[in-house]
Amino acid sequence: MKRLSIRWQLTLWYALALAVMLCAFSFLLCLLVWQQVLSRTDSGLREELREIGLEVALTDSATTFASQAAARFSQHDFYEFLVTDANGNMIFSSSSTVYDMVPKAADSPDGQFQTVTLEGLGPYRIASTRMDSAFGKLHVQVMTSLQPLYNDQASLQWVVALLLPIAVLLAIASGQFLAGRALRQVQQVVDETHAIDISNLDRRIPVSNPDDEIGQLTIALNSLIARLERAINEIRRFTADASHEIRTPLATLRLEAESALRSPRTPEEYQQTLAVVLEETTRLGKLSDQLLNLSRHDAGIIPCQQDPVQLDALLLDVIEQIKPLAEAGSLSLSVNINSHCEILGDDISLSQVFFNLLENAIKYTAAGGEVSVELSCQSDEALIEITDTGIGVAAESLPYLFDRFYQADPSRSSSGGGSGLGLSIARAAVLMHAGSIEIQSQPGEGTRVSVRLPVSSQADSSRSNTPDRLTV
């Protein structure tokens, strides 16, 4: 059944359920009809017993009773009668054949009904009772043939057996029709979905009824298409931006090489050309590393290590690495660590995060400015804040700072402002550690970057009474 269409599956399940219900209904119907007919038969036998009992009570001799019973009960159309004495001798019988075949008084229960099959006559229903008379104790039996009832029951069963397949066939036909109407919207959704490809991802599937299951499915598909559209647009923009960023150093390398080959130069000029080539090659290599890092984050193939990391020691190591850059820019670099904090994570990835953030802070802070790093460790998270007194970021640019290749000041790109991937890499690494990163900034007043990282229950965090402070 798994290979059948949903329409046929619904139809067959509907037909099967209906067939089971019809079989159960037919069985109960035949059983109830038989019980009802048998109950009426027993009522008739009970009434005949009462009437023949009246005859017994009105007579004072066996001869008189036999004569009156023969006149009244011998020609009955539906019932046969048999009256015997206590010794089993026949006093009255409406048929001699019945007398020879029915169970005798000793074998018949008193006041009960039984069904027996008489040889050559078929099934009979017998009512037996014992009563007192003026001429002794009597055993009275009244019986009727069940063959007409059996014939009616068989006719009913044949009718049911013939109508049941017809009902199932009608159920299959109606199931096909109803399933087709119910799944017509599904086919419309399928057709609309097939018409959507990468060239028209802005197209959406019409929603006829947002409250039913098909409408909910359509809404989910439209949401999926919208996410695909955004993803494709981001890929296209990423490809275009990456191509642009790669083209710039390649064009510089080509220009320098052509200039060096165009005419002979002095050793000093060749040395200058090689310096430019080395700088652009370094820039191109860094860009390639960043693109590779981002692609690995996107593919989820960079596992997050769960090693104990002393966050305060890691920050001090990063500050030692970035210190020459701050000294070159005549900046004041201060560190305020009031907690010795240990977390679980990847120290290399976290070092890259804080190095990128500090590098940006130093890069966009004028000489004489200040860059500060502060670490505070709470019971469930560590908070790292990097603050600078640089040029700041406009409010309209803040939502896009983590977008790839986005630069709040594009003019800085050509003068060593970076490729616009540092913050994207930082956010990916922080999210990989189940943390969060936030940027607050005011133009002309500076920028503050807040990084929150969860402190694992396995990590040992303690506070120090005397904060460590370093000033460059």
Q: Lowest-confidence range among 80-94, 196-210, 291-305, 356-370?
A: 291-305
pLDDT of 459 over the 60 cut: no
| Residue 302 neighbours by CB under 8 Å, 6+ apart | 293, 296, 349, 432
Kindly state whether residues 256 and 350 are assigned to the same domain: no
Best-predicted range by mean pLDDT (44-53, 203-212, 293-302): 44-53
Kindly state whether residues 318 and 428 are assigned to the same domain: yes
Residue 146 lies in a domain: yes
Residue 384 lies in a domain: yes
> CA–CA separation, 280 vs 161, rounded Å?
90
Kindly state whether residues 241 and 324 are assigned to the same domain: no
pLDDT of 414 over the 50 cut: no
Kindly state whether residues 222 and 323 are assigned to the same domain: no
Provide the mean pLDDT of the chain. Answer: 81
In this structure, how many other beta carbons lie within 10 angstroms of the beta carbon of residue 443?
A: 13
User: Of 246, 193, 188, 262, whose CA–CA distance to 222 is shortest?
Assistant: 193
Domain boundary among the residues 277, 299, 321 is at: 299
Global pTM value: 0.49
Band (pLDDT 50/70/90 cuts) for residue 176 is confident
Residue 103 maps to which CATH number? 3.30.450.210
Kindly state whether residues 250 and 336 are assigned to the same domain: no
User: Of 303, 394, 314, 400, whose CA–CA distance to 358 is shortest?
Assistant: 314
Q: How many domains does the chain have?
A: 3
Query: How confident is the model over 322-333, as pLDDT tens digits?
Result: 888 888 888 888
Whole domain around residue 238: which residue ranges? 213-299
Domain boundary among the residues 272, 299, 326 is at: 299
Secondary structure E strands in 134-198? 136-145
Kindly state whether residues 290 and 329 are assigned to the same domain: no
Residue 288 maps to which CATH number? 1.10.287.130
Kindly state whether residues 138 and 231 are assigned to the same domain: no
Kindly state whether residues 98 and 218 are assigned to the same domain: no
Residue 421 maps to which CATH number? 3.30.565.10
Give pLDDT, residue 107: 53
Residue 186 lies in a domain: no
Kindly state whether residues 294 and 313 are assigned to the same domain: no
